[in-house]
Amino acid sequence: MVHLMFLMKRKPGLSRQECQRHWRGIHAPLAQRIPGIRRYVQSHVFSAQEEEPPYDGVAEIWVDDEPAAAAIFQTKEYREGAYVDEPNFVDVKQVVRLRTEDHVMLAGAPIGKDERLIKRLSFLKRKSGMSKEEFFRYWREAHGPIALKLPGLRR
């Protein structure tokens, strides 16, 4: 399974509320029509934060494999739907795209569509001089078990 993440900043001149309303109400139905997508999740930042976050949200898409990841962006549903709509609410020049592979550290029941939970996403850059292999091994084998001790963790 390939997990695609898109860190998004709203279009200049658009309020966070207007952006989120468009993203949920107009863009989500367009994205849901794209064949090959197994799961689509929008994570919106909280409206009330002490400081302006660097991004307004994260779109997450799961597909079967790398060929499926490439294929979704070639579909008519993407090219004529979601892609055309993106500039209406997103600053497309500031989108950060990540292709990831999930490593589940704490399995849990699937989160329902209408459940309201707090989700934390942290984006890390490996320490200078550390190889990718060393970074991922440390993250999964040393850091992961420490993080699992956090109170209230559901997944």
59 has pLDDT over 70: yes
**DSSP state letters, 89-142:** TB-GGG-EEEEE----SS--PPPPTT-----------PPTT--HHHHHHHIIII
95 has pLDDT over 80: yes
Cβ 37 vs Cβ 113: under 8 Å = no
Mean pLDDT of 50-72: 93
CATH number at residue 41: 3.30.70.100
Say yes or no: 60 and 86 in one domain: yes
Task: Give the chain's domain count.
Answer: 2
pLDDT of amino acid 25 = 97
pLDDT of amino acid 152 = 86
Say yes or no: 7 and 54 in one domain: yes
Q: What is the percent of the chain with per-residue pLDDT over 90, rounded to a whole number?
A: 74
Say yes or no: 115 and 98 in one domain: no
Q: What is the pLDDT of residues 103-145, one digit of tens each?
A: 888 988 877 778 877 788 888 889 999 999 999 999 999 999 9
pLDDT of amino acid 49 = 64
76 has pLDDT over 90: yes
Please give the residue range of the domain that contains residue 98. Answer: 2-102
- Rounded CA-CA distance 90/22 in Å is 10
pLDDT of amino acid 51 = 79
Say yes or no: 78 and 130 in one domain: no
Q: What is the pLDDT of residues 21-51, one digit of tens each?
A: 999 999 999 999 999 999 999 999 876 667 7
- Rounded CA-CA distance 53/55 in Å is 5
pLDDT of amino acid 121 = 82
